[in-house]
Each structure stands twice: as C-alpha cells, then as structure tokens.
Structure 1
Amino acid sequence: MVARGMTAAALGAWIVFEDEAGFSMTPPARATWARRAHTPTIRMRGWTRCRVTLAGLCCYKPGERSRLIYKLHVHNRRPAKGERRSYGWRDFRWLLVYAHGRLGAPIVLIWDNLNTHRTKGMQEFIKATDWLTVYHLPTYTPDLNPVEGIWSALRRTAHANTAFETPDHLVRTLRTRLRKIQYRSHIIDGCLAATRLRP
C-alpha cells in the first residue's frame, strides 16, 4: 500500500477502490420485537425475482473530501437469453470514465480479481488509458476493500427489515441511503480506517 500511495502522490492521483454487490427484494432480517411464541413474518408481493446490482467506488486523496461514486442496475433473476446477470467490462469502463470526469485527476484503481476485470477488452482499455493505473487485491481479501463497508452499512440500515413493495421501492431506498453516505465523507473515511490501510 505504501508503494501504491507513492505512485498516487507522484501522479497527483486519487486512490480508488472498487467492488460490486447485489441486493434483492428479500431483505436481511435484523433483531426485532414480537409476541412470545409468535415468529414475525413479512409478506412479499411476488417481486422476489428482482435484483439490484451495485458497483461502487470509494475515492481517497490527501487534502480532499472522500467520495463515493456508484452505478446501479436492476435486472431479473432469470434473465432473458443473452442478458447478463452482472456488469460487463464495458459497464466498468463507463464507470471509470465517469469517475475520472468527476474527480478531475488520474486514478490509481485497486480492485479484486473478478474475471470481468481481466477480460481482453478491459486490459486493452487500461493499456490505452494514460490516466488509469490498476492494482489487484490479493485473492479472498474483502477486509482490505473499504467498499465492503459501504455494502455492510446499506444492509444494516436501508435494506434491513423492510418489506419492499416494488422494485422501484427498493431502488429508491438504496439511492436515498447512498446519497446520504455521499454527503457524509466521515463514513467513507471510516470504511478505509476499518481496513487499516493508509491512502
């Protein structure tokens, strides 16, 4: 991480962590109250096949306010023929180009070893992009990625114990909570602190 930090400082770049997560209409259950011997139940309205996929970027630079940038996609759990169940490399390319425009500086990207991150198209894009430097996290190390902390916060707050009426209800709830996190940079900083890494 020290070497990466030196690279970022030399380039005047942002250190950007990326990760993806899925959220379904069936929320995680947290502690709740109920009458003794009566298990609480939540009735769903038949939308359980809907799933929201999020790709998020936690962006850090000394002297700058930390940023959260994300891309949200809604899809059916049983996609049509030829339809992807997750993001393709072009989606990640769009997200990175968008982030570069928002941040206005080079990006040192740190992400996992997802096969989509290593496709031929993505590798060609990385080689052809002078403002992008990429490092891969070691295998099976989600504890080193601060974006995981963002997903955990969503699951413990906006997504927990909620009976979503429609896919749009789920999307609105996630967007509202993500917007609140974007305006509270100390939450994004806390996710980095939890990894014990330094920008």
Structure 2
Amino acid sequence: MAPLVRRTWSPRGQTPVLVQRTRAYQKVSVIGALCVPPQRDRVYLYFRLHPDTNLTGPLVIAFLRQLARQLDAPFVLLWDRLWAHRATVVHTFLQQTPQLHPVFFPPYAPELNPIESAWGYLKCNPFANWPLTELDTLTAVTHHQHRHLQRDPLLLRSFIEHSPLSLRLK
C-alpha cells in the first residue's frame, strides 16, 4: 500500500517525511463505469469496491447485473481488454443478456477509455501523499472519494470530454 508520492510544499528546512509500511501488500480493487444516458445531458459513475481481491469474471458479472438493474435499458459497454472482461464466464453471461452490448477498445489505448481518466484523477489527487496503512481505512477512504466524485457532475463530464471518442455531451 505504498502511496503515490507527489511534490508538495513545506517550510524551508523542514523536509516533509512520508512514513509508510513496507512488505505489506493490501489493495482495494475497483470496478466502475461512467454512464451517459441517451439524452447525453449528464454523466453517472457506478462503482463497486473489492478489498484485498483481484477482479475476476464472477465479480464482473455481479457488477454488470447491478448495472443492468440500475440502468433498466439496453446499453453499450465500452471496455478495455482487462482479462476479467474477456473471461469465458463473462462472455457466456453477455450472450445470455441481450440488453448488454460489449465493444472493446483497441489494445493499449487507455487514452480512449474515459474511466481511466477517473482512476488517474483519484490516484493523483485525493490519494497522493496519503499513506493508508490499514485495509479498512483504505477501503473507507476509497469509498468516500468515489462517492465524492459521483457528486461532481462537471468533473465526470470532463472525463468523457477528455477522451477522443466521438461521444459529445449536451
């Protein structure tokens, strides 16, 4: 759980010290989606946290089921090529769920994926220089920061607009 270290200010002669625990590998995996309704007037962020877990096909399916219940209409999934997105169980689930239409981004093209901008923002802004040493604290702070991001419509719009995709918002 080493924090992202960023440049910061401090009084002259008082070098900031970032204390962190080493040899402890704990993490919070996040699966999320930026959703734009057909009216294209707003952007929504949906996410699920998985403390100390790698994302797998069944976790992706659980998220997609939750998303399908929330959105209640056919929708297109624009996906990167994460292994869990291409798992056999996910592929089977998508074939059985006609309201979900997956479209994969080209390999190695994170600049096209708007959710990557959201993850980059969260890692480089609220989490920079923040040594979270306990998994429970990391999970709670991650949840809080994602909820905070959900309530910032202009920032969510900026992630969509930053992508060179042809999707334009009103």
Alignment of 1:197 onto 2:162: no
CA–CA distance in structure 2, aligned partners of residues 140 and 183 of structure 1: 30
Q: Spell out the pairing of 1:112-127 with structure 2 (5 A cutoff).
A: 112-127=80-95
- Per-residue CA deviation, residues 48-90 of structure 1 (Å, 9 max, x unaligned), is 3211111111111242521101111111xxxxxxxxx511111
Residue from 71, 79, 88 that aligns with 2:56: 88
| Structure 1 contact 47–166 (Cα < 8 Å) conserved | no
Give TM-score scaled by structure 1 length: 0.76
What is the CA distance between 1:30 and its match in structure 2? 1.3
Greater mean deviation of Cα atoms: 178-187 or 57-66? 57-66
Unpaired segments ≥5 residues, structure 1: 1-24, 76-84
Q: 2:28 touches 2:139 (CA, 8 Å); kept in 1?
A: yes
Query: Over aligned residues, Cα RMSD in angstroms?
Result: 2.0
Q: Any unmatched runs of 5+ in structure 2? A: none
Distance 1:104 1:47, change over 3 A: farther
1:66 to 39, 43, 50: 43
Quickly say closer, same or farther: Cα 1:119–1:165, change in 2 above 3 A.
Answer: closer
Q: How far apart, CA to CA, are the structure 2 residues paired with 1:107 and 1:193?
A: 19
Residue in 2 aligned with 1:8? none
Structure 1, 125-134 or 63-72: larger mean CA deviation: 63-72
Runs of 4 or more consecutive aligned structure 1 residues displaced over 6 Å after TM superposition: none
Kept after mapping to 2: 8 A contact 1:47/1:167: no
Aligned to 1:50, which of 26, 35, 39? 26
Count of residues in correspondence between the two structures: 166
Tell me how far apart the structure 2 counterparts of residues 164 and 117 of structure 1 sit (CA, whole Å): 29
2:42, 2:157 within 8 Å by CA — same for their partners in 1? no
Task: Name which of 115, 131, 134 aligns with 2:99.
Answer: 131
More strand per residue: 1 or 2?
A: 1
